[in-house]
Chain A
Amino acid sequence: MTTMRLSDGLVLKRTYDPRSSRQSINGEQYVLHCHHFATLYTQLADDCGMLDGKKLMAEVAEDTFYDVLKTYYAEHQVTGIPERILVAEEYYAAMGLGLVKVRCAGPEAGEVELLASHIDQGWVKKWGQREQPVNFITGGFVAGAFSAIFDRAPRSYEVRETRSIVAGAETSMFEISAS
């Protein structure tokens, strides 16, 4: 087991179980994938209009990251709002999803800026720019993170992507409001 302290905010403990050949971080199984995989899953969600695949993907991300952050906050006794936000930002980066900055946050609303993005930049690298947002995973991440940060249940927040790197903007912007 190795312990990696990226900063004062986030501690990652990586383990490899030779019996099952599984990789874990902080007890949660993790897996490496590439931007081809992530963007093709995203494209599938985008194309799946009959089910609202975008919402489905965002909800899966919200449920997953809510659990991960909630567990981390409890196990590491992270109780302050700024500390919780720092952990969420650093966790997002550790996953290789990009550089996210919470510009403001309260229990009712918030603004989150994305300065670099695995999904948007991966999409552009694979298919080029497009006008409509594609980062449903980050929308879900932000919703799950806000619920975990403010001790609310999942589905407590609605997230709208109002500006997108995939559309040519320098950064993406997500606006959050309580449901």
Chain B
Amino acid sequence: MAVNRAVETAPYVSALYTTVDRRKIIDALSKLEVVNNDEGLIPAFNVFVNQMPARFWTSFSERLTRKVGPELVDAAEWLLVNAAQECGYHTGQGIITSDEWNAVVAPMVTRVPEDVLHGAFAVFTAWGWAKSEIVELVPNERMVVHAYDYYEADVVRYGQRSRPAAFMVRGVCAAFMDLAYGGPYDPTGKSGLRTFKCVQTKGIECGDEYGEFVVTRA
């Protein structure tokens, strides 16, 4: 899967070239086993991690957004995206400063933060959130991500959903741009977080071939 598929004359093409080897990262990190401690907790990346069936999260979001009614659906969706954006911001910072990152990804990084972003989406793929890659990147301004498989699309088994439903991918895409271009990481989330926003313009759950996520300044 190539990341430099943009038209070569486009102004954003240079940011797509990367020294990050996606395949190598995915091969290495997809085999990582997450094991609980004696208290049944998984402290990692400066957060508590959980590993739950994906359908728990999608069942909750699907039932909630279907039941709130048309006047509140935008607010409910924003809150679901926001949960992912905070998660992606804090856990993303934990990941890009972790031993695993330093061992596998950091040696491939030659340009900061663009290579870090490419590496982050390789990790995002390896750990089963979404098979995704950056297809357009204007540093400090805009990013477009394509996701070719993601668990949030599973809410539809037949037909097409009228509204996209990849709230987690949306939030994490925005969070990664926050980390890249939103200023120094702020553990309180008061600054740095929500400097970018993401709109989902295509979705597998809507009948598209892939999900498309467009991130711009908030």
Contact = CB atoms under 8 A, between A and B. Distances in A.
Given A16-B128, A122-B48, A23 B30 contact: yes
B50 A64 contact: no
Contacts of B35: 4, 94
Contact of B128 (A31, A45, A63, A97): A31
Contact of A34 (B39, B47, B54): B47
Given A2-B33, A41-B57, A21 B50 contact: no
A33 B59 contact: no
Contacts of A99: 38-41
Contacts of A68: 53
A34 B48 contact: yes
A68 B51 CA distance: 14
Interface residues on A, range: 35 or more
Interface of B: 26, 30-31, 33-36, 38-42, 45, 47-57, 59-60, 63-64, 67-68, 76, 79-80, 82-84, 86-87, 90-91, 125-131, 149, 151, 154
Contacts of A50: 68
B31 A16 contact: yes
Given A116-B41, A125-B48, A34 B87 contact: yes
A53 to B, nearest CB: 7
A34 B45 contact: yes
Interface of A: 2, 4, 14, 16, 18, 20-23, 25, 28-38, 40-41, 44-45, 48, 50-51, 53, 56-57, 60-61, 63-64, 68, 92-100, 115-116, 118, 121-122, 125
Given A31-B57, A36-B86, A44-B83, A121 B128 contact: no
Given A96-B41, A118-B48, A16 B30 contact: yes
